[in-house]
């Protein structure tokens, strides 16, 4: 690419996904052995943007909740607040999350008429 082409590529509006999708797909294949299509790659500007997008996709209504290891990343609780998604804490101990505690939290949520949609760890 000559200088003019580089400027036109970098300083003009282009695909909202940017220009790195093909690189990501190539590296997924080389590094992880994962075959993906560029249309399946979503580039975000950070983890909080990705969290908001995932939470928006998971939440249909106020009954949808997510479980989260407690303590949890404040960025996740902020993303949940933005999407009006309730977060139910699951205590984490020195050995990590106790699967039985996760099960109890999910059962209690269902008994209260809620729908646990994900577990954030």
The verdict on 8 and 32 lying in the same domain is yes
* Whether 72 contacts 120, CB under 8 Å: yes
The verdict on 57 and 113 lying in the same domain is yes
Q: Strands (DSSP E) along 1-121, which ranges? A: 64-70, 86-93, 96-97, 115-120
For the segment 89-114, the average pLDDT, to the nearest whole number, is 95
Encoded tokens for 62: 């106020």
pLDDT digits (tens, 9 = 90+) for 28-82: 999 999 999 998 888 888 899 999 999 999 999 999 999 999 999 999 999 999 9
The verdict on 56 and 30 lying in the same domain is no
Integer angstrom CA distances of residue 32 from 20, 27, 28, 46: 17, 8, 5, 21
Residue 11 has pLDDT above 90, yes or no: no
The verdict on 30 and 62 lying in the same domain is no
The parent domain of residue 70 ranges over 47-120
């Amino acid at each position: 690419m000559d200088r003019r082409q580089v400027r036109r590529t970098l300083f003009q509006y282009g695909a909202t996904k940017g220009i790195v999708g093909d690189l990501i797909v190539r590296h997924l294949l080389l590094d992880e052995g994962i075959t993906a299509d560029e249309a399946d790659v979503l580039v975000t500007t950070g983890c909080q943007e990705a969290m908001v997008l995932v939470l928006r996709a998971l939440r249909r209504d106020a009954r949808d909740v997510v479980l989260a290891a407690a303590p949890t990343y404040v960025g996740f609780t902020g993303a949940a607040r933005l999407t009006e998604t309730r977060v139910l804490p699951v205590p984490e101990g020195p050995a990590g999350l106790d699967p039985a505690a996760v099960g109890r939290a999910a059962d209690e949520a269902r008994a209260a008429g809620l729908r646990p949609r994900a577990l954030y760890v």
